[in-house]
Amino acid sequence: MEDTVCRSLVHISSLFPEILAMIFSHLDVRDKGRVAQVCVAWRDAAYHRMVWRNVEAKLHLRRANPSLFPSLVKRGIRRVQVLSVRRSLRDVMAGIPGLESLNLSGCYNITDVGLSQAFSQELSSMVLLNLSLCKQVTDSSLGRITQYLKNLEVLELGGCSNITNTGLLLIAVSLKRLKRLNLRSCRHISDQGIGYLAGMCQQAATCGNPELEHLGLQDCQKLTDQALKHVSVGLPRLQTINLSFCGSITDTGIKFLSKMHSLRELNLRSCDNISDNGLGFLAEGGSRLSSLDVSFCDKVGDQGLAYLSQGLFSLRSLSLGSCSVSDDGIDKIVNSLHDLTTLNIGQCSRITDKSLSSIGGKLKQLKSIDLYGCTRITTVGLEKIMQLPGLTTLNLGLWHKR
């Protein structure tokens, strides 16, 4: 019956398998599986590695399935996300030689013991490991990871609250190819740990991760300006850094970062001690930032926007949610930062139609604007915004029509 179906589709089934594979490669994952069930010819074409290139398999590791891993290997799948674990991770490592990416995010029952069993020999092909929210993971696991996964380029540890500076020392000594490191809510780490990443170790002859391009430090509340001094000295290729909710960071720390010409994205959301002066340091230091978030920094006001308008000409995205800015400050950036594509001024309660008129008249590249909670704007101002040719996103939550 299946072969009869295929013969009836002469114009498609007569194609070379390589051509069918090219066509199937454009389907979503579910449809890739469906076409493999049509007939033998389509099944063979659908199992071509081209079809599954860059696909991440999503697995529940429950009962044993002898055909699972051979099927993944046949299709050339080398990226896996484990959704739940009830059996050993060692089966994944053994079943998929050459595994490149392993995502264990949210697998709360993952322990140091389970990871030690999984990582028991060198895995040179692995470049990405995501352990976000694996809350039982400690520095002991990092010892295994740094011993056997030396080619890691991406390591996600967000929410691994038992990681300490000792774990960062292990990373600094062994993971020399690391480009992205997320330490969100790793609240035990301090300036000393960031110093290790920046190459400042007395315990080892060589350490540091100079290839780091992205560093997530959100909610690492022990960090101070000293950590940013370490970053500015020892991480010359850093492009993005997330410092949101790091309450001890001050304008002094921003002065260190302002000298990093590689830096493109800076997130200071809810950093209570950042003020207009910090934005002034960014402008004076020749910063080439394309994205800046100072939302909920209540010490940032119109003077800070005046500083930005005088020096941060590369800005494309600016978030000012709940800052103490008015129409005067918005006027400054509108007249200077013409290439902005994203602007968040939600909950800036002093903003009126005057700002919207300026934005609509001068920010012709704007694609997204957040006006959540801007209760002093009216339909008159919104009409100006709606005339922007490229606008695709407009947030008006808590706006009272007048």
311-370 confidence digits (pLDDT tens): 999 999 999 999 999 999 999 999 999 999 999 999 999 999 999 999 999 999 999 999
Number of H helices, E strands in the chain: 18, 14
In the block, residue with structure tokens 């692995």: 126
Q: How many residues does the chain have?
A: 402
Query: Residue 169 has which token pair?
Result: 């020392």
Find the Cα–Cα–Cα–Cα dihedral 334, 340, 345, 351, rounded to 10°.
Answer: 20
Contact 368, 341 (CB under 8 A): yes
> Out of 14-18, 148-152, 178-182, 391-395, which region has the weakest mean confidence (pLDDT)?
14-18
Name every residue whose Cβ is closer than 8 Å to that of residue 110 and which is 6 or more positions away in sequence: 85, 89, 104, 131, 134, 136, 137
Q: Which domains are present in the chain?
A: 1-53 (1.20.1280), 286-402 (3.80.10.10)
Q: Which residue has the tokens 């590791």?
A: 61
CA dist., res. 336 & res. 189, Å (int): 39
pLDDT digits (tens, 9 = 90+) for 206-216: 899 999 999 99
Q: What is the pLDDT of residues 114-139, one digit of tens each?
A: 999 999 999 999 999 999 999 999 99
Reply yes or no on whether the pLDDT at 45 is more than 80. no
Residue 13, pLDDT score: 57
Confidence of residue 74 (pLDDT cuts 50, 70, 90): confident
- Predicted pLDDT at 53: 67
Look up tokens 């012709």; give the residue.
364
Checking if the pLDDT of 28 tops 70, the result is no
pLDDT tens by residue, 252-280: 999 999 999 999 999 999 999 999 999 99
Roughly what angle, to the nearest 10 degrees, separates helices 327-334 and 302-311?
Answer: 0
Q: Considering the entire predicted model, what is its pTM?
A: 0.89
From the centroid of its chain, how far is CA 391? 24
Mean pLDDT, residues 369-397 taken together: 94
pLDDT of residue 9: 47
Q: Which of 15-29, 143-157, 229-243, 379-393 has the lowest mean pLDDT?
A: 15-29
Helical (H) or strand (E) element with 216: strand 214-216
Any idea what the Cα angle at residue 268 is, between residues 262 and 270, rounded to 5°?
175
The per-residue pLDDT for 8 is 46
Q: Is the pLDDT of residue 12 over 70?
A: no
Query: 143 to each of 153, 167, 171, how far by Cα in Å?
Result: 16, 7, 8
Amino acid (one-letter) located at 42: W
pLDDT over threshold 80, residue 64: no
- Looking at per-residue pLDDT, the higher value among 298 and 21 belongs to 298
At residue 353, what is the residue type? D
